[in-house]
Each structure stands twice: as C-alpha cells, then as structure tokens.
Chains A and B, each alone.
Chain A
Amino acid sequence: AQSVTQLGSHVSVSEGALVLLRCNYSSSVPPYLFWYVQYPNQGLQLLLKYTSAATLVKGINGFEAEFKKSETSFHLTKPSAHMSDAAEYFCAVSDTRGFKTIFGAGTRLFVKA
C-alpha cells in the first residue's frame, strides 16, 4: 500500500528565506510523486510532478523538488520565500495505473514580512 507523510503541519519562514517542506513516501512500486498547492478558498493546483525522468523536478513559481529513492523522500524547496507563497502544500503519490492518488495531510506555509 502507498502512503505519504508530510513532516510538520505548519512551517513558518521569513520573506526571502529558504522554504523546505518535507515529504516521505512509501510505495511497493516505482511511484509518481506530486506537489500541489492550495491557496485560501481555492481548489488544489499542481506545482510539479516526478514521473521517473530527472530526479530534480522544477515546477511553477520557483519551486523544485528532488526525488531521493534511497531516502524515500520528495522534499519541496524554494530558495527565497515570497509573501504570495503562503498557502497549504500537499505531497501526493500515485500508482502506475494512476487512478488513485494518496495525499499527505498537508503543510501550511506562513511567510513573515
């Protein structure tokens, strides 16, 4: 069975600081991995996805994530936080059939001025 663990339900950073949101997954088959972002009162939208090509994946708004098989991790980073990055972020894993996606519990990012 697949599962996703996001470490830290809340993360607070200062504007301009590094953003690091942690995600570990469990999967018995090669996974597809996703990061989604949810802004207040909106649905989720895709930030980036890993599909077994390059292990470093670049997404929208300056975010990137690195797939590390040995650590079963897919952490999300951004070099410099902006106030507009304040949102909830979800890591997700999908099986090769792609019908079901398992979502983590989410990490709410706060950005301080």
Chain B
Amino acid sequence: DVKVTQSSRYLVKRTGEKVFLECVQDMDHENMFWYRQDPGLGLRLIYFSYDVKMKEKGDIPEGYSVSREKKERFSLILESASTNQTSMYLCASTDRGPVETQYFGPGTRLLVL
C-alpha cells in the first residue's frame, strides 16, 4: 500500500520562527510536491522536486524553501513564519510516468500566531 507521511498533523508556531515540515514517501517516487490548501483557493503549488537535490519553484514560492537530500524525503521550510502562512500544507509524490497520479499525505495544519 502506497504511503506518504507528514511529520505533524497540527503545528502551532509564533511569528518569526523557523518552521520545518517533513514529508516521507515509501514508493520510490521520483517527483515530490508541496502545496498549500486554503478555502476557496484549492491547492496551490509551492515547490516541487523531480530528483534528489533538484527543486523548482511552483506558483507561490515566496517565503518558503525546500530541501531534498534523499529520494524519499522532501522538506518544506518557512524561514520566518508569518501569520499569512497559516494554512493546510499537503505533500504529494508521483511516478515518473506520462500521466501521473499524485499520492498525498494527510496534511499538516499550521497555525502561526
């Protein structure tokens, strides 16, 4: 059974803190993604990675960075958390096929105070 896990389900941080969100997949997938989900906006892509140490900006990368040192692990970093980064964060991974089903983790709900 395919599995994508995220390090925390709920997280509360203070403005200015550095925040790490971790995602691990056990499917040997090449591609991994970080999205944020906000009501009425759907999912918006923050960053994605198509290989170890490779990363590409998505549609809303400002205020975020990522790290992929190992194939199975993709980390999202909020360098200095702000209240407008309060959101649900979803990690996903896909095969390198021509039509890619995304497998999602359960999400991390982040509250920045």
Report which A residues bind B (CB closer than 8 A). Answer: 9, 32, 34, 36, 41-46, 49, 51, 90, 94, 96, 98-101, 103-106
Contacts and interface: CB of A to CB of B under 8 A. Distances in A.
A41 B99 CA distance: 27
Sort chain B's interface into a size bin. Answer: 20 to 34
B108 to A, nearest CB: 10
Contacts of B104: 36, 43-45
Contact of A41 (B48, B58, B106): B106
A45 B2 CA distance: 11
B101 A42 contact: no
A90 B43 contact: yes
A44 B31 contact: no
Given A43-B106, A44-B90, A51-B99, A100 B45 contact: yes
Q: Select the residue from B99, B104, B107 with max chain A CB neighbours within 10 A.
A: B99
A43 B35 CA distance: 11
Contacts of B43: 44, 90, 103
A80 B90 CA distance: 30
Contact of A46 (B31, B97, B101, B106): B101
Given A44-B104, A46-B102, A98-B99, 13 more contacts: A36-B102, A42-B106, A42-B107, A49-B99, A94-B100, A98-B100, A99-B48, A100-B48, A100-B58, A103-B35, A104-B42, A105-B40, A105-B42
B18 to A, nearest CB: 25
30 contacts: A9-B40, A32-B99, A36-B102, A36-B104, A41-B9, A42-B107, A43-B92, A43-B105, A44-B102, A45-B104, A46-B101, A46-B102, A51-B99, A94-B100, A96-B98, A98-B94, A98-B97, A98-B98, A98-B99, A99-B48, A99-B50, A99-B56, A100-B58, A101-B102, A103-B35, A103-B42, A103-B44, A104-B42, A105-B41, A105-B42
The 5 A-B residue pairs with the shortest CB-CB distance in the complex, in nearest-first order: A43-B104, A103-B43, A105-B42, A98-B100, A103-B42
